[in-house]
Chain A
């Protein structure tokens, strides 16, 4: 065989191996990003429910609103504890229900104005808004990480050579987490 052909084959094989190891490293990084964003997501939604629960038990809102919010928040926390591994369907619907309860409470700007007028009210409203916003954002960031990971894992070579190893295929978290109208900044 011509020596050049051998050299060519060696070069191609080396490049191919380099490409494979790069892709494996890339996947490793992506899986780590998904793990991190999922952990953050879990924590942020727990924070949101806890924040709502403490507002509901603070006596700053009228009794019926307080009960409505406390019930939704309590349910979300219970589902969070029950589904440690991730976002089960039940947890997603409990979180969406909490979002609906928040929307029902904070659509009328007057409710927010009255809260703001109470001592320390401004800080409480700001903290609540920030917590709700952060939960929504962390879901967006997590789903972004999932999409990027799935895109690489669906490549034929990655599937054929099992470059992802034993890592489970991540999936996006779908639920309603809109910031209620009266709490939006602009």
Chain B
């Protein structure tokens, strides 16, 4: 099958949606499909994979309360049209189409079998309401809608109506299995691991550090490994000086170091306080064989199967976090039983399984054998905005 995938965000900087599109493309290619990915490229030096097509340099603009890097305008639209024309796709798969990106341009430009995946749970944006008519006309061409989580599905239902099927995020388990720990690990004393922006409150490092005095009192040798960018001094300024050495900052880590850090820890702690639509990092930890302690956000509880495959604590409650971590560190038997349970759970989300389900969605929309084509009908407004139609 010839599959065209549109990644809405910059291919050359790390991100959840980009990683999803990358792993999906790689797995589908392994299944024998012919995959082409259209993505914005910010850094021209980045070595693009052979299946990636440059969708143009994204522009930084304020959008929905923060600064977003997006692609829009006639040049981007022309690139999208050319890519669709040359690709001769059996199915077009766009990601996060409800934002001003290549994805919505692709929806706008194409007709035929189209699949869309919604990733984030977000508040209804003003822009989306204002451009509702235009968005709706582009969205209603999509033949199959996928949400990666219940939260993402509810966002979609609220904003656009209709429904979506649930196909979760995937994890490449083999990358995490049998990983080598960082030098000097595992230590004699227990090690906890945290990953995420350290000055982003929703990632919840402050909740973990507020629980640290009690954890350190119960397990004096404990160390907290912290991976992620942000101001390190500011993060620990509320801690007693003797507890500050219990925190080791790794800074922004490479993928390889992240995997090693998982393998170095006895317990991975996810104290996030909100804004999480899925919880891929929990699966990564379980794939690496590291038991998980996570806040009881809906998304996390669902990945941990309500506490069966990892421990949950009350979100934003340092005492609840401390109790859970202290008990789990003291109970080596529980930790040992969590390793195979977590591993089996992660395997259910392996990309082989997830991409297989996405393949089934493709099959559900391509049964009639139609191809993806440029849509020429009812496009007066779009055409007026594009004086040179070299691609048509």
- Whether A associates with B in a native complex is yes
**Chain A residues packing against B (C-beta within 8 Å):** 18, 21-22, 24-26, 28-30, 33, 36-37, 39-40, 43-44, 130, 133-134, 137-138, 140-141, 143-145, 147-148, 151-152, 185-186
Tell me if B197 is interfacial: C-beta within 8 Å of chain A.
Answer: no
Residue in B145, B162, B345 whose Cβ sees the most chain A Cβ within 10 Å:
B162
Residues from chain B with a CB closer than 8 A to the CB of A144 are 145, 162-163
Q: How far is the CA of A171 from the CA of B143 in the complex (A)?
A: 16
Residues from chain B with a CB closer than 8 A to the CB of A140 are 163-165
Residues from chain A with a CB closer than 8 A to the CB of B323 are none
The 5 closest A-B pairs by CB, nearest first: A25-B378, A186-B348, A40-B367, A25-B377, A148-B140
Closest to B354 in A: A185
Residues from chain B with a CB closer than 8 A to the CB of A134 are 360, 363-364
Tell me the chain B residues, 202-240 only, with Cβ under 8 Å from chain A.
none
Interface size on B, residues (CB 8 A): 32
A137 touches B140 (CB 8 A): no
A80 → B minimal CB distance (Å): 15
Residues from chain B with a CB closer than 8 A to the CB of A145 are 143
- Contacts A40-B364, A138-B364, A141-B364; A28 near B377 (Cβ below 8 A): yes
Closest to A28 in B: B377
Residues from chain B with a CB closer than 8 A to the CB of A152 are 140
- Contacts A151-B161, A185-B353, A185-B357; A26 near B378 (Cβ below 8 A): yes
Residues from chain A with a CB closer than 8 A to the CB of B144 are 137, 141
Tell me if B137 is interfacial: C-beta within 8 Å of chain A.
Answer: yes
13 interchain pairs (CB within 8 A)?
A18-B380, A21-B378, A25-B377, A26-B137, A28-B377, A29-B378, A33-B143, A36-B368, A130-B360, A134-B360, A140-B165, A141-B165, A148-B162
Residues from chain B with a CB closer than 8 A to the CB of A147 are 161-162
Closest to A136 in B: B165
- Contacts A137-B144, A144-B163, A185-B353; A40 near B380 (Cβ below 8 A): no
Tell me the chain B residues, 358-392 only, with Cβ under 8 Å from chain A.
360-361, 363-365, 367-368, 370, 375, 377-378, 380-381
Q: How far is the CA of A41 from the CA of B356 in the complex (A)?
A: 20
Q: How far is the CA of A37 from the CA of B113 in the complex (A)?
A: 10
Tell me if B111 is interfacial: C-beta within 8 Å of chain A.
Answer: yes
Residue in B140, B161, B353 whose Cβ sees the most chain A Cβ within 10 Å:
B140
Tell me if B22 is interfacial: C-beta within 8 Å of chain A.
Answer: no
B219 → A minimal CB distance (Å): 33
Q: How far is the CA of A48 from the CA of B7 in the complex (A)?
A: 34
Residues from chain A with a CB closer than 8 A to the CB of B356 are 130
- Contacts A21-B378, A151-B161; A141 near B137 (Cβ below 8 A): no
Residues from chain A with a CB closer than 8 A to the CB of B11 are none
- Contacts A137-B364, A141-B365; A29 near B161 (Cβ below 8 A): no
B348 touches A137 (CB 8 A): no
Tell me if B141 is interfacial: C-beta within 8 Å of chain A.
Answer: yes
Closest to B359 in A: A130
A185 touches B143 (CB 8 A): no
Residues from chain A with a CB closer than 8 A to the CB of B348 are 185-186
Contact with A along B273-317 (1 / 0, CB 8 A): 000000000000000000000000000000000000000000000
B380 touches A137 (CB 8 A): no
Closest to A35 in B: B368
Q: How far is the CA of A128 from the CA of B380 in the complex (A)?
A: 46
5 more contacts with CB within 8 A, not counting A36-B365, A141-B145, are: A18-B380, A130-B360, A144-B145, A186-B348, A186-B349
Q: How far is the CA of A44 from the CA of B365 in the complex (A)?
A: 11
B165 touches A137 (CB 8 A): yes
B163 touches A143 (CB 8 A): yes
Residues from chain B with a CB closer than 8 A to the CB of A44 are 364, 367
Q: How far is the CA of A33 from the CA of B140 in the complex (A)?
A: 9
Closest to B376 in A: A25
B299 → A minimal CB distance (Å): 14
Q: How far is the CA of A152 from the CA of B361 in the complex (A)?
A: 26
B367 touches A30 (CB 8 A): no
B180 → A minimal CB distance (Å): 29
Q: How far is the CA of A164 from the CA of B364 in the complex (A)?
A: 26
Closest to B302 in A: A186
Residues from chain A with a CB closer than 8 A to the CB of B143 are 33, 36-37, 141, 145
Residues from chain A with a CB closer than 8 A to the CB of B168 are 186
Closest to B140 in A: A148
A40 touches B365 (CB 8 A): yes
A21 touches B360 (CB 8 A): no
Residue in A44, A130, A147, A148 whose Cβ sees the most chain B Cβ within 10 Å:
A148
- Contacts A18-B380, A185-B353; A40 near B140 (Cβ below 8 A): no
Contacting A21 at CB < 8 Å: which of B137, B363, B380? Answer: B380
Contacting A30 at CB < 8 Å: which of B140, B365, B370? Answer: B140
Residues from chain A with a CB closer than 8 A to the CB of B364 are 40, 44, 134, 137-138, 141
